[in-house]
């Protein structure tokens, strides 16, 4: 019998509140701070990956996360690229920015990045998906 995953999956229904109270994003930040780990911002769904990464990097840094990295997966090749995968393997929290969910699934589905996300969840990490 396989062990049950111990991770946390948080789905944010289209409102990330980057500018006001940031109550949801504060909870995301707390997951990274609690584990003293790396929070990776994954921009695979966004049509504007650089802008989203800059926004969320600023937000999570302001909320006290000490280790924040950005991973742009704009092609399927990047989703299986060794450098990308190595960075993702060190994450304790992964935040998937909002955008086109079809783009997200087509970039990550069946990729090594997807395998890393499954492994993160199985070993107790936190995955947050902004669904907008």
The verdict on pTM exceeding 0.75 is: yes
CA dist., res. 94 & res. 80, Å (int)? 16
Mean pLDDT on 61-83? 90
Give the rounded percent of residues in the chain with a pLDDT score beyond 70: 91
Say which CATH class 8-130 falls into.
alpha beta
The whole-number pLDDT of residue 16 equals 55
Alpha-carbon distance of 132 to 120, in angstroms, equals 23
Chain-centroid distance of CA 128 in Å reads 6
Give the start-to-end residue ranges of the domains of the chain: 8-130
Question: What is the rounded CA–CA span in Å between residue 36 and residue 19?
Answer: 24
């Amino acid at each position: 019998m396989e062990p049950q995953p111990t991770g946390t999956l948080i789905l944010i229904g289209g409102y990330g509140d980057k500018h006001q109270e940031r109550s949801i994003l504060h909870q995301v930040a707390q997951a990274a701070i609690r584990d003293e780990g790396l929070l990776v911002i994954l921009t695979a769904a966004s049509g504007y990956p650089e802008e989203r990464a800059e926004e969320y990097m600023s937000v999570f840094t302001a909320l006290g996360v000490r280790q924040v990295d950005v991973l742009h997966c704009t092609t399927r090749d990047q989703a299986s690229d060794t450098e990308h995968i190595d960075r993702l393997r060190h994450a304790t929290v992964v935040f998937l920015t909002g955008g086109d969910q079809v783009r997200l699934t087509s970039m990550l589905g069946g990729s090594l990045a997807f395998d890393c996300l499954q492994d993160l969840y199985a070993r107790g990490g936190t995955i947050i998906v902004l669904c907008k």
